[in-house]
């Protein structure tokens, strides 16, 4: 009986090995990617008692950034991946009043997602074209950008954000080592950020002004599609 079980196990392992060879026999994959995200929102007063101010946001769209991902093949058609990226988006406006004077200010956010995903290799994939779909979750670290004169915002706590994502994509196998990846992903994380000024005074265009020592709360929401083009190395 044991011999029968060992024989079955041997043939299963042999079958898996043959299937793996259809994907160049590689279990590990590292990718370097360039991303474009369509939309995001920055809420400057998310805790306001006024419902109008609480729901007001600035649209920060058209975000370009780099990302990295490491993938490991669990089974022939199942892959796990962990990735990270650095997202920075800001804009300049004159809606900030300092002691009665309207000034130019650069405002936005930094965001660092760390995401764990599970991918399924679709059965209609070929030797050259590997189609996949996937999903997973992530944690999001971030800080608000506010810069004017010689001061800026510094992080003062805030919360770690959480979110889920879904994606579809394709790898074009150039050779045993190199592939080109195209991917589309949707996610909708929210992150609460707490910030304060780096100094109690600011020098702006030759004048010195006092600044508030309050802690400011803001919220960022990335709710658009992310399109990715990347280069991968399998080993």
Q: Could you tell me if residue 12 is inside a domain?
A: no
| Higher-scoring residue by pLDDT: 47, 9 | 47
Using alpha carbons, select from 172, 229, 232 the residue that is nearest to residue 36. Answer: 229
Q: Could you tell me if residue 5 is inside a domain?
A: no
pLDDT at position 12 is: 40
pLDDT at position 39 is: 96
Q: Could you tell me if residue 134 is inside a domain?
A: yes
Q: Could you tell me if residue 7 is inside a domain?
A: no
Q: Could you tell me if residue 16 is inside a domain?
A: no
Predicted confidence (pLDDT) per residue in 57-114, tens digit: 999 999 999 999 999 999 888 999 999 999 999 999 888 888 888 889 999 999 999 9
Q: Could you tell me if residue 36 is inside a domain?
A: yes
User: How many separate domains does the chain show?
Assistant: 1
pLDDT at position 163 is: 94
pLDDT at position 99 is: 83
pLDDT at position 29 is: 96
pLDDT at position 97 is: 84
- CA–CA distance, 103 with 123 (Å, rounded to integer): 58
Q: Could you tell me if residue 59 is inside a domain?
A: yes
Q: Is the pLDDT of residue 233 over 60?
A: yes
Average pLDDT, the chain: 89
Predicted confidence (pLDDT) per residue in 41-73, tens digit: 999 999 999 999 999 999 999 999 999 999 999
Domain that holds residue 106: 26-234
Of these ranges, 13-27, 85-99, 159-173, the one predicted with the greatest mean pLDDT is: 159-173
Predicted confidence (pLDDT) per residue in 114-156, tens digit: 999 999 999 999 999 999 999 999 999 999 999 998 999 998 8
Q: Is the pLDDT of residue 5 over 50?
A: no
Q: Could you tell me if residue 14 is inside a domain?
A: no
Whole-structure pTM value: 0.84
pLDDT at position 16 is: 41
pLDDT at position 62 is: 96
What is the domain-level CATH number for residue 110?
2.40.160.20
Predicted confidence (pLDDT) per residue in 176-215, tens digit: 899 999 999 999 999 999 999 999 999 988 889 899 899 9
């Amino acid at each position: 009986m044991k011999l029968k079980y060992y024989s079955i196990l041997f043939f299963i392992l042999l079958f898996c090995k043959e299937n793996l060879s259809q994907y160049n026999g590689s279990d590990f994959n590292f990718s370097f990617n360039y991303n474009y995200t369509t939309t995001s929102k920055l809420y400057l007063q998310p805790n306001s008692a006024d419902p109008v101010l609480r729901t007001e946001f600035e649209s920060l769209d058209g975000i370009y950034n780099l990302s990295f991902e490491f993938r490991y093949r669990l089974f022939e058609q199942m892959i796990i991946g962990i990735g990270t990226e650095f997202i920075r988006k800001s804009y300049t406006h004159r809606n900030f009043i300092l002691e009665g004077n309207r000034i130019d200010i650069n405002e936005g956010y930094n965001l660092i997602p760390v995401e764990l995903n599970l991918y399924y290799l679709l059965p209609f994939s070929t030797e050259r074209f590997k189609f996949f779909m996937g999903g997973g979750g992530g944690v999001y670290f971030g800080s608000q950008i506010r810069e004017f004169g010689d001061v800026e915002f510094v992080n003062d706590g805030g919360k770690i954000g959480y979110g889920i994502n879904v994606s579809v994509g394709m790898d074009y196998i150039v050779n045993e080592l190199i592939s080109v990846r195209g991917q589309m992903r949707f996610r909708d994380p929210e992150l609460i950020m707490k910030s304060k000024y780096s100094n109690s005074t600011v020098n702006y265009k030759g004048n010195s002004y006092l600044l508030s020592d309050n802690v400011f709360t803001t919220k960022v929401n990335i709710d658009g599609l992310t399109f990715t083009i990347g280069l991968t190395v399998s080993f």
